[in-house]
Amino acid sequence: MKIGLVYNGKNPPAATARPQGADWNLEFDDQETIEAVARALSRIGEVVEIEAVPGCREKLAFHRPDLVFNIAEGFDGPNREAEIPMILDELGIPYTGAGPEALRFCLDKHRTADFLRRRGVPAPRGRVFTAGEKVSWDLSFPAIVKPLREGSSKGIRDDCLVGDLAEMADKVDRITRRYRQPALVEEFLAGREFTCALIGNNGDLELLPPVEINLAALPPGARPIYSYEAKWVWDRPEDPLPIFTCPAEIDENLKSALTATARRAYLLSGCRDWARIDLRLDRSGVPHSIEINPLPGILPRPEDNSCFPKAARAAGLSYDDLIARVVETAKKRCAL
Ligand SMILES: Nc1ncnc2c1ncn2[C@@H]1O[C@H](COP(=O)(O)OP(=O)(O)O)[C@@H](O)[C@H]1O
Ligand SMILES: [Mg+2]
């Protein structure tokens, strides 16, 4: 079997990079991750690595892999994650994970939360503001301000948890200008935080052991959010924060509530093969879906504190087993 690995690397060819600020490539994969995935895939078939930059359509058409393992995040805009799946659909090449419509949908955190809430899945209430728009707020404080469609806590700084309108307007202004996209302001869910990794499809969907994000492990004075600083500054491979507990220490009631919310969010949003749902409890202990990650991060080294591989390890799956499971799931769905 010929397997294509389509990715966005942290150092794309200069002519295709579109740097904006120091964190412009935060969502992209480092060489170590690309190599680790390629190594895992090489146990299943012949691997062709293709960087998701202009010209990749021609490479895909030339190599015609039997299946693509897609981890490409795309550069910019509301369709960035959908671009490669659209090309693959057009070429008739099957691939792992969600299709373009679900990727585009989940990237918009506000649309996803509203959609889920209307279907009875708890999700935070929020408002969206575009650059220069007057900020008003009819929901409760504290609130959290974040870019509408980023990941890896890009733009979610420790100071994004705000207590009044002036602070909110300041963060909205910073985010809309810096990230050239609307800012999403949400009611802050103050309870425990979890993330649930799922593998499978309709009828056969497995939840890996939930991970708790131990916000109490953050340095003194830090706000209780899994911010940019928490992910990339305070937690370093050479000095990791004890930020995850997996399996999470939870009772059966909470486990089934988390499972139900994560499963419904996954299925309603049209995820396929694998995805990770971030959840947080409100004051009364009800899990809310904060966001859906149909392209979950998969840093290979345990010290890098990456949730999906961590949950897989707790389920007895090595990194290579995890990649193989995703491939198997996609093959089954596509009847390959
Ligand atoms: N509505 C919310 N209530 C409470 N905490 C939130 C909320 N939205 C985001 N957070 C906090 O911010 C972190 C990052 O937000 P998230 O939307 O998951 O961004 P990313 O896509 O960058 O992971 C979450 O892990 C959580 O700690
Ligand atoms: Mg998240």
pLDDT in tens, 154-210: 999 999 999 999 999 999 999 999 999 999 999 999 999 999 999 999 889 999 999
pLDDT at 15 over 80: no
The residue with tokens 């700084």 is: 157
CB 188 within 8 A of CB 144: yes
Given CATH 3.30.1490, say whether it is the number of domain 125-187. Answer: yes
- Residue ranges of the domains in the chain? 2-95, 125-187, 193-333
pLDDT of residue 239: 86
pLDDT at 304 over 90: no
Angle of the 109-118 helix axis to the 100-107 helix axis, nearest 10: 100
- Render the burial of 53-91: b for 16+ CB within 10 Å, e for the rest: beebbebbeeeebebbbbbbbbbeebebbbbbbbbbeee
Ligand 1 within 6 A of CB of 290: yes
pLDDT in tens, 85-117: 999 999 999 999 999 999 999 999 999 999 999
Query: To test the ligand 1 pocket, which listed residue (116, 168, 235, 278) has its Cβ within 8 A of the most ligand atoms?
Result: 278
pLDDT of residue 240: 86
Assigned CATH topology for domain 193-333: D-amino Acid Aminotransferase; Chain A, domain 1 (3.30.470)
Distance 85 CA to ligand 1 centre (A): 26
Note residues around ion ligand 2 (Cβ under 5 angstroms): 278, 291
Q: Which ligand is nearest to the CA of 150?
A: 1
pLDDT in tens, 31-50: 999 999 999 999 999 999 99
Given CATH 3.40.50, say whether it is the number of domain 2-95. Answer: yes
| Residue 19 binned pLDDT confidence (cut-offs 50, 70, 90) | low
Q: Which atom of ligand 1 is nearest to the CA of 187?
A: 1
pLDDT in tens, 203-247: 899 999 999 999 999 999 999 999 999 999 998 888 888 999 999
Strand partners, 276: 197, 293
| Residue 17 binned pLDDT confidence (cut-offs 50, 70, 90) | low
pLDDT at 20 over 90: no
Q: Annotate 266-302 with DSSP letters as a single string.
A: HHHTT--EEEEEEEEE-TTS-EEEEEEESS----SSG
pLDDT of residue 250: 98
pLDDT of residue 238: 86
Query: To test the ligand 1 pocket, which listed residue (125, 148, 225) has its Cβ within 8 A of the most ligand atoms?
Result: 225
Ligand 1 within 6 A of CB of 214: no
Residue nearest to atom 2 of ligand 1 (CA): 188
